[in-house]
Amino acid sequence: MKKCPFCAEEIQDEAIKCRHCNEFLAALPPAKPKTPWYAKTSIVVLSFLTVGPFALPLVWFNPAFSRRKKIIVTVIVLVITYALSVVFFRAAKTILDYYKQVGIF
């Protein structure tokens, strides 16, 4: 026997519905919804550091993020990705120019 958390009456341990107050007990204890592994902020951040913009689906399928947060994160990631590719291509061009001066190409 256990006590109904709603009316404090004694009920069966296996009961999913209290016969005294008709409250459903199946959802008890009120455990907070478990965050799936891919929705953990650390995993999302790590994904962005490794695969960059390809980690965006993780944000969009993340139940812990609101729609507004998803849009903000998406915009930030796209801006950072754009900035990084600009820096990368500039660096590549500089290196190529250097090689041309040296006479390899």
- What is the Cα–Cα distance from 2 to 54, expressed in whole angstroms? 50
Tell me if 38 contacts Zn ion by CB under 5 A: no
| Of residues 7 and 72, the one with the C-beta less far from Zn ion | 7
| Of residues 25 and 77, the one with the C-beta less far from Zn ion | 25
Looking at 2, 3, 17, 20, which residue binds Zn ion (CB under 5 A)? 20
- What is the Cα–Cα distance from 90 to 79, expressed in whole angstroms? 17
Looking at 6, 39, 77, 81, which residue binds Zn ion (CB under 5 A)? 6
Helix and strand element counts for the chain (H, E) = 3, 2
Interacting residues of 33 by C-beta distance below 8 A, sequence separation 6+: 63
Tell me if 15 contacts Zn ion by CB under 5 A: no
Site residues for Zn ion per CB under 5 A: 4, 6-7, 18, 20-21
